[in-house]
Structure 1
């Protein structure tokens, strides 16, 4: 029973995968795939990860630092001592005159364990944390702009495919008309109603139509390759896309730029600079650190030889098997207070304040440019709506003229050149109409970008 269930699950999985492979991707899938694949967006995510690592490093400043060190040394030295005869005070011990040299050698072994930890940073670390948090927020917001650029690029290619689909419909309609008109022209030529020159015009129009069909196929293939580069979705699935080209609905929130990612990022940038000022202002606050040290010292096989017998000892040689100091433990807390640092701290504060002012100026400049851009895109969108109405009317008029020309051609009232001219006028008017819809959609998307409201939901 279990084997049968596993087999059924396997067959269902294979069937679903095959079904997905045979279906065209939705616009949402195209955008999602492009967001995953985009290298610029991937690098922005890595930059945010780097900022988070820097944030963790600031948290870890208060963690203890421990290190172990050790060394061995062989000591060998020669010296000359000239000392006049004297008597030790109080003890009244005579010391004879010393005039000779010493040779000394020894072995030294030393090991240390050092531990230190920051107890108080003077408020600099918390301020730097807040600055990094603001910087990270700015980076995250700027990702929204990159995502909107990707949505806009995918949408443009998707709409271009829809535009080409309308072109294909027009070409197919013209093909049917030319086939019918060619039959009519053939009969008319047989009855002597038209000249051979007029008949050849119909044939030339059919050849030109075949050339336009080939041009259509080339443009569509190029768009499919572009979408493949953006999304990494297989070409076999992209070729199944058949979408309609319709005018864009009325966008919302047309009078504000508050949602623009650039402004949000600049606000976070200003906040980050202000926290940097606070961090720089802590230069004069005392910093406190705790430290501990555990050491081992061993001086062994010590030997010192003089030319003459040493006073008090009575022989020229002094030896020691071992001089050991273990353990050597030091515990303490220290502080550092920069009461005057040569004005370095003051200059850092001044530089940080200048950074704040520059960020404020950049925001004001950006606001002016974004407002101007919003006005331009609003005007372009409204003009494109009016353009659609004009082009639609022209297409309707051209269609009516073509219908009349076809009827008159069948009864011999107009020449083939007049019919072909009417067909060309209708095709041009129809293409202009669909191009106007495409332009309106582009202007609507640019308008949504101007207000910072461009998402896949807002354009579906």
Structure 2
């Protein structure tokens, strides 16, 4: 999307700056808001936080997947050196038993010989030497002893913590873009000051030339004008270099086309808001609180290692021919696993997680203290910036009146060209100092909003 500076946008911006009742979001240049949005999309650090969040979501799905049945298909072929059979005595016993049963069935007396015309069944092998198996196993955790449940909750709080950390990174990116954009506006303001100085110097050059022609001035005055013009040209070159560098920084932060950025002409105006009483909990604090909760659930998860686990086990053989006499074709069972003593590993891991949560608690308290101090400091800086702007306004009035007075005196041959140039230089410095005060004022407001945790409302 290209950035077009339309007349409507310029009118909107001017209205936003000069109308004190405009909301915070409206005070921000819509072009700048678009650059911030592009910066959010381009930022590598924000994208990394996004991937970390996605990993936390995957961890939750992995924990939930513990309760899904696991189905495994198995296949194998084994060839033994020989069939596994009963020993000779056992085989003879089985054959004798078979003969007795047959005699009883056909009514042959016990002591009569076994008829030769009746065929006996061979004693089967315990296991044939060629074994081909194909089966399916089902493993289904019915109760994990709350281990999976606590793991899910730990991952959820970790995800929330990462989301809040991502928001803090967004604030940092927004502040960088706003500051760079304002620096570009400050550079543009310096160009306007230089243009005004150029106009004044050209006017003075005209009067010096006339004065020399009438014998009222010496060529030294013209040389001084020429030196001032050279100094002005040096400042104009510095302006071009600064603008090029800032455009490159904005390009890297936002990915916006350099040609479009070169067309920007941001303006610096007094930046103030009616009320700063609203304060929200900073995302940094929220991130630490969520991380603390995650470690507490992690500790519970590790303690859950001592709670009995309940699981279902199922097995089914597709090929029955190669099963041994002792192998079942299928079975289903429910088992309990109870870890009674694991060498204190679970207890120590749980204690380690508790200590980690205590560290987060200390970080939270430290951060709250630092934020309270930052709010006071930012508030004082903001108030000082407003007062400084008022002082600079007075300096401009004085410098302008002084220049007008000395300029009239010079035209009436009552002041030297040096005095005129000095007065012009003072006026130039005062005008640029006002732009710097606007820049400082905007920095103070942005830092105060960030300290109060409401910066996101400012650029969204």
Q: Which residue of structure 2 lines up, in the alignment, with residue 124 of structure 1? A: 147
One of 227, 234, 239 as aligned partner of 2:250? 227
> Following the alignment from structure 2 to structure 1, what is the Cα–Cα distance between the partners of residues 138 and 82?
34
Question: What RMSD, in angstroms, separates the aligned Cα atoms of the two structures?
Answer: 2.9
CA contact (8 A) 1:251 1:448 kept: no
**What is the match of residue 367 of structure 2?**
366
Q: CA deviation at 1:298?
A: 7.0
Rounded to whole Å, the distance in 1 between the matches of 2:363 and 2:41 is: 31
Once the two structures are TM-superposed, the CA of residue 323 in structure 1 deviates from its matched residue by 6.6
After superposition, residues 280-299 of structure 1 pair within 5 angstroms as 280-295=302-317
Cα contact 1:260–1:451 (8 A) shared by 2: yes
Q: How far apart, in 1, do the equivalents of 2:277 and 2:178 lie?
A: 20
2:329 aligned counterpart, secondary structure: strand
Distance of aligned partners of 1:241 and 1:78 in 2 relative to their CA distance in 1, 3 Å threshold:
closer
- 2:295 aligns with 273
In structure 2, the CA distance between the partners of 1:22 and 1:236, relative to structure 1 (3 Å rule), is: farther
Tell me, in whole angstroms, the C-alpha distance in 1 between the residues paired with 2:4 and 2:186. Answer: 24
Give the alignment's TM-score, normalised by structure 1: 0.81
Partner residue of 1:67?
A: 72
> Which residue of the partner structure matches residue 147 of structure 1?
170
**Does the alignment pair 1:51 with 2:59?**
no
Between the two proteins, the alignment pairs up a number of residues equal to 403
Q: What residue number does 2:265 align with?
A: 242
Distance 1:240 1:175, change over 3 A: same
Shift of 1:332: 0.5
Secondary structure, aligned partner of 1:193: coil
Give the corresponding residue for 1:314.
none
Residue 441 of structure 2 is matched in structure 1 by 440
Mapping of 1:176-187 within 5 angstroms?
176-187=199-210
Q: Find the residue that maps to 2:72 and give its secondary structure.
A: strand
How many angstroms does 1:389 deviate by? 1.7
Whose strand fraction is larger, Structure 1's or Structure 2's? 1
Q: 1:78 to 1:268 in 2, by over 3 A?
A: closer
Structure 2: which 5+ residue stretches go unaligned? 10-29, 97-126
CA contact (8 A) 2:83 2:129 kept: no
Q: Deviations over 1:359-403 (max 9, x none)?
A: 111111111222222222222222222222222211221111111
1:335 alignment partner, SS class: strand
Uncovered stretches (5+) of structure 1, i.e. residues with no partner:
1-16, 92-103, 301-321
Q: Secondary structure at the match of 1:338?
A: coil
Greater Cα shift, 343-352 or 322-331? 322-331
Give the C-alpha shift of residue 426 in structure 1.
1.2
| Cα distance, 1:278 vs structure 2 | 2.1
Determine which of 145, 148, 161 is the counterpart of 2:184. 161
- 1:344: Cα distance to partner? 2.5
Q: What is the Cα deviation at residue 327 of structure 1?
A: 6.8
**Counterpart contact for 2:82–2:129, Cα < 8 Å:** no
Q: What SS class does the counterpart of residue 26 from structure 1 fall into?
A: helix
Q: Give how far 1:168 is off.
A: 1.5
CA distance in 2, matches of 1:174, 1:77: 108
In structure 2, the residue matched to 1:3 is none
Would the aligned equivalents of 1:377 and 1:447 in 2 still touch at CA under 8 Å? Answer: yes
Alignment of 1:256-267 (within 5 A): 256=279, 258-267=280-289
CA distance in 1: counterparts of 2:275 and 2:62, whole angstroms: 44
Cα gap change, 1:334/1:412 in structure 2, threshold over 3 Å: closer, same or farther?
same
Q: CA deviation at 1:325?
A: 8.1
**Distance in 1 between the 2:41 and 2:32 partners?**
14
